[in-house]
Structure 1
Amino acid sequence: MPADTLGELIDNLEAAYPGMKRHLVVDGAIKPGLAAVVGHTATRRGLLQKLENDVEVHFITAISGGRS
């Protein structure tokens, strides 16, 4: 799906799949507990992250648990 930024991509996903944005964004930022991976790198720029053509974007949930 074409987009110049991660925020635009999420808006485009919302247009194609209504309700998707609420699972990814809260208060204008990526939801806590989610990481956005652009290409092979987790972004710290959030919704402002620029996207190159044909780059893969993954949203990964944080996993916790186990023994400490």
Structure 2
Amino acid sequence: MVSGRFLRTGRKAVTAGIALLAAVWAPSSPAVGLAAESGPALAGFLRGTSVNVYAGHERILAARADALEQHR
């Protein structure tokens, strides 16, 4: 999980091949663009069971489907 400074952290995450970044606040527009172009899923406003997904929706949905399948 990252703070509001996603852009610098996001660049490092893309280089490292990290699949998901999450923040407690909303990411900036450049950060969303970086995530959308480069591949990692980007989520923000993490509160309890609530989350907003800004990029990589398909990656999160696939992970959720996999998790549900494992519990069956």
More relative contact order, 1 or 2 (CA 8 Å, 6+ apart): 1
TM-score calculated relative to the size of structure 2: 0.30
TM-score calculated relative to the size of structure 1: 0.31
Which has more helix, going by share of residues?
2
